[in-house]
Amino acid sequence: VSLGGCGLALFDQLTVDLGADGENPTQKRAGGGRRDVRRVELERDAPREVRLPVFRERGWRISDTAVPGVTEERCVALTAISTPTVDTTVRSPQRQFLGTFRHPTPEDLEARAEAVADADAKGLVGLWEWCQVAESADPGSLPPEMWPGYSQEHDFAIETAYRAGEVKVEIAVGIRSYDILFEGDLPAGRQVDSKAKKRRFVRRRLVTPAEREAQLSAAESAAAAAFAQ
């Protein structure tokens, strides 16, 4: 099941494999990385929470049974299924754009490190691209030409911060400064210009080293041509 196309950028690169032959379902991310998924049945009048045993194996995993000394119990409040209400608040597009942003947790950073190591083992490298449509409602539906790359200097700065487990990095383009905010454990985030109040999506695409070099060279040539013009 693909979770893309629902208007939320953090789901665009996620799919859920429902499993087969006794396998448990898992959530998979394009480019590597996975999380456990469970379907839990609750009585209609049961408390609005779910309790699950988890254990640590590289990252956190869900256990089918509680094992003393091995698993820990986690409680998740199900606020999303509380009594429905109608929200008539008028919000600006700027607030909505960052309203769904999920800051990285320690678990997210562990999952990010695992995904980076997995890509490295496959001989793939990260290439950062920014969305030409500012504050797009559905960036996953945009064609590849709407995702230009950064310069080699900026790409290196963003990738270095991402690999180091940072939650954001600042880059300067001319007289403007931008914050690149990394979202959750996703190979994506937001580029924010606080002064101009502009925001746009960014993404990390896995490519071969040769493709990355070609893309960065093309970006440098285009920037030089634009500057000369």
Mind listing the pLDDT tens digit for each residue in 85-119? 444 444 434 444 455 678 889 999 999 999 999 99
Neighbours of 221 (CB within 10 A): 10
CB 180 within 8 A of CB 161: yes
Measured from the Cβ of residue 155, the count of other Cβ atoms closer than 10 Å reads 21
Question: Which residues in 20-52 are b (16+ Cβ under 10 Å) and which e?
Answer: eeeeeeebebbbbbbbeeeeeeeeeeeeeeeeb
Rounded-to-integer distance, Cα 23 and Cα 17, Å = 10
From-to residues of CATH 3.30.720.50 in the chain? 106-228
| H helix intervals, the chain | 93-99, 106-121, 152-163, 209-228
Instruction: Give the span between the Cα atoms of 20 and 140, in whole angstroms.
Output: 28
- Taking the C-alpha atoms of residue 158 and residue 152, their distance in angstroms, rounded to an integer, is 10
Average pLDDT, the chain: 82
Task: Name 211's Cβ contacts closer than 8 Å, sequence gap at least 6.
Answer: 127
Kind plus residue range of the DSSP H or E element containing 52: strand 49-57
Q: pLDDT digit string (tens) for 46-81?
A: 667 888 899 887 778 898 888 888 899 888 877 655
Considering the segment(s) 106-228 as one domain, its CATH architecture is 2-Layer Sandwich (3.30)
Going from the C-alpha of 69 to that of each of 55, 65, 74, 136, 191, the distances in angstroms are 10, 12, 15, 47, 43
In this predicted model, what pLDDT tens digit does every residue of 121-138 receive, in sequence order? 999 999 999 998 887 777
